[in-house]
């Protein structure tokens, strides 16, 4: 009677660590240096490090899984840890906003023009949760064409949302509202800017899935992680909308 011992292979990658430090450490410090401590130079340094870590980590992380059909399934776990890091970071910023909002006698500060809430843009973005869910279902069914078309639909929705966000910033700027006008505009630019950064990062993840999908080399692990990220960013958009614009 022969016995077979299964070996466990741990797949170690440095890329999630880079993404975690970039998004969870240097990015918050960049905002604190700028808006809390008024240290512009340190803010630029921290922001540069955050962007470099996010790009290097994100591209490396994606490259380690995209196009790999038979992977070890570790990507969703890594994505879950990344989302957990992001949740803690965003929660800290939201709590800081809530404290500032609750302690202010008048909000927004007196003299602040009305800022239009991105209600339509947020509803549109939530539609991408449906399209990415369909894409994931098509991928499970080995329907490369269906997966690709639904992923492209998700990309289009996110691009439109990004354009609407920039248009919102442009409208604020036309009213003379900058990031340093008052605490409210700082919150609006800051929170929507953080969400916008997640949109850009997500677009990179989505775009990198198209080519291997067309070749039938899309890994289930990558597709699942991509779906998780889309849902997370969409939930984040609701939190930003309700907290900054409707409270």
Distance CA 113, CA 110 (A): 9
117 sits in the region (left: phi over 0; alpha: psi -120 to 50; else beta) called beta
Can you give the pLDDT at residue 6?
44
Nearest Cα to Cα of residue 22 among 43, 52, 45: 52
Q: Which domains are present in the chain?
A: 15-245 (1.20.120.80)
Q: Is the pLDDT of residue 16 over 50?
A: yes
* CB-facing half-sphere around the CA of 118: CA atoms within 13 A: 30
Digit-coded pLDDT (tens) for 44-74: 898 889 888 877 877 776 666 655 555 555 5
Model-level pTM? Answer: 0.79
**79: its two tokens:** 């994505």
Name the residue with higher pLDDT: 246 or 123: 123
Give the rounded distance of the alpha carbon of 207 from its chain centre: 14
């Amino acid at each position: 009677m022969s016995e077979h011992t299964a070996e466990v292979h741990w797949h170690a990658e440095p890329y999630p660590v880079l993404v975690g430090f970039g998004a969870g450490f240097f990015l918050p410090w960049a905002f604190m240096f700028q808006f809390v401590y008024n240290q512009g130079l340190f803010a630029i340094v921290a922001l540069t490090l955050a962007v470099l870590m996010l790009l290097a980590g994100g591209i490396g992380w994606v490259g380690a899984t995209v196009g790999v059909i038979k992977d070890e399934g570790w990507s969703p776990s890594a994505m879950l840890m990344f989302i957990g890091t992001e949740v803690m970071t965003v929660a800290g910023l939201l709590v800081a906003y809530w404290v500032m909002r609750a302690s202010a006698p008048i909000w927004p500060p007196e003299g602040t023009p009305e800022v239009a809430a991105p209600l339509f843009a947020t509803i549109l973005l939530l539609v991408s949760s449906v399209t990415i869910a369909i894409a994931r279902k098509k991928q499970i069914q080995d329907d490369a064409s269906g997966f690709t078309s639904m992923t492209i639909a998700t990309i289009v929705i996110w691009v439109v949302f990004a354009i609407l966000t920039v248009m919102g910033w442009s409208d604020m700027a036309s009213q003379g509202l900058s990031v340093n006008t008052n605490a409210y505009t700082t919150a609006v630019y800051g929170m929507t800017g953080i969400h916008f950064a997640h949109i850009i990062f997500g677009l990179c993840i989505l775009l990198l899935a198209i080519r291997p999908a067309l070749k039938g080399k899309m890994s289930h692990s990558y597709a699942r992680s991509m779906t998780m990220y889309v849902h997370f960013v969409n939930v984040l958009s609701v939190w930003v909308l309700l907290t900054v614009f409707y409270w």
